[in-house]
A = this chain, B = another copy of it.
Amino acid sequence: MASNSSVIRASAPKLENVDELIDSVETFLFDCDGVIWKGDKLIDGVPETLDMLRSKGKRLVFVTNNSTKSRKQYGKKFETLGLSVGEEEIFASSFAAAAYLKSINFPKDKKVYVIGEDGILKELELAGFQYFGGPADGEKKIELKPGFLMEHDENVGAVVVGFDRYFNYYKVQYGTLCIRENPGCLFIATNRDAVTHLTDAQEWAGGGSMVGALCGSTQREPLVVGKPSTFMMDYLANEFGISKSQICMVGDRLDTDILFGQNGGCKTLLVLSGVTTLDMLQSPKNSIQPDFYTNQISDLLPIKAAAV
């Protein structure tokens, strides 16, 4: 396929020796959309595959850049699809934002200003941080009179920005003031995804647009806690004392999931059950090669069981 390219790049091999992969891995990190489900439909063989991995003592972690829900709220989606997944197994970027603040011992007497939805607030609450903003600021407007000044809380030590369908100028200005004027104020992004899947009828402008707005007004770059930043992998490795080479990232997107795994020093498995086709993987234009690819995660099941 790459024969007319001057540099022949080896394309990732199909996963053949399943047992060897499973034996070498302590933790499987799964992207959700395109791996576990597609829209609102579970992908074939997922429950059996997860059960099998659990029976072998593997740790399972479900990673999503969706910050609109907390881990608990996100768990309901798994429940609805008949999957039994504990909330401690879900790493949503809303949780990652709170976990990051914990990891740096963000002071409990400082506040977090949130541009985003309910999930971020819920995770900050659980982590014991002071916070405000979010949906409550969705209807706020700026009344411009000559000399008008927007006051802001000088105790805000971090602004967390995620996807926010109630995004407005009030929030942009408030967050900008905190980042620009409060010494040392952190600028944290849950993710910079260009698109998100609010509904499966079309692609929707993602968290990257809210983050881009704040970058434009502050001239600062955020610290990103969701994919493809490696914060979640570092966190897992620290929290559970596992080596990153014993983590396998399983995803359907080359430039987010697989890159995320590689950036973190993990094994990587691409599944073709989502947006990436075999042609795309093997195209000479593609420079991101996972360790292995396979059709879907149920390929991890022993052949007999998969045929049931």
Interface residues as binary, A137-164 with B (CB distance below 8 Å gives 1, 0 otherwise): 0000010111111100000000000001
- A223 adjacent to chain B (CB < 8 Å): no
- The answer on a CB contact under 8 Å between B167 and A166 is no
Smallest CB separation, A229 vs chain B (Å): 16
- A194 adjacent to chain B (CB < 8 Å): yes
- A209 adjacent to chain B (CB < 8 Å): yes
Closest chain B residue to A192, Cβ basis? B216
Which of B147, B195, B201 has a CB less than 8 Å from the CB of A201?
Answer: B147
Closest chain B residue to A151, Cβ basis? B202
What's the tally of chain A residues with a CB closer than 8 Å to chain B?
45
Given A213-B213, A216-B212, A216-B213, answer yes or no on A198-B167 (Cβ-Cβ < 8 Å). no
Interface residues as binary, A23-47 with B (CB distance below 8 Å gives 1, 0 otherwise): 0000000000000000010000000
- Chain B residues with CB under 8 A of A300: none
- Chain B residues with CB under 8 A of A203: 180
Chain copies in the assembly? 2
- Chain B residues with CB under 8 A of A147: 199-201
Interface residues as binary, A199-234 with B (CB distance below 8 Å gives 1, 0 otherwise): 111111111111111111111000000000000000
- Chain B residues with CB under 8 A of A150: 202
Q: Which of A124-132, A169-177, A280-288 participates in binding chain B?
A: A169-177
- A58 adjacent to chain B (CB < 8 Å): no
Closest chain B residue to A207, Cβ basis? B216
CA distance A199 to B144 in the complex (A): 8
- A168 adjacent to chain B (CB < 8 Å): yes
- The answer on a CB contact under 8 Å between A173 and B142 is no
- A76 adjacent to chain B (CB < 8 Å): no
Smallest CB separation, A140 vs chain B (Å): 12
- The answer on a CB contact under 8 Å between A209 and B172 is yes
- The answer on a CB contact under 8 Å between B166 and A169 is yes
Smallest CB separation, A205 vs chain B (Å): 4
Closest chain B residue to A202, Cβ basis? B149
CA distance A176 to B230 in the complex (A): 28
- Chain B residues with CB under 8 A of A172: 167, 205, 209
Residues of chain A touching chain B, judged by Cβ–Cβ distance below 8 Å, are 40, 142, 144-150, 164-169, 172-173, 176-177, 180, 192, 194-195, 198-219
CB pairs A–B below 8 angstroms (22 shown): A144-B199, A145-B199, A147-B199, A148-B198, A149-B201, A149-B202, A150-B202, A164-B169, A167-B172, A168-B168, A172-B205, A173-B204, A173-B205, A177-B202, A180-B203, A205-B216, A206-B216, A209-B213, A209-B216, A210-B216, A211-B216, A213-B216
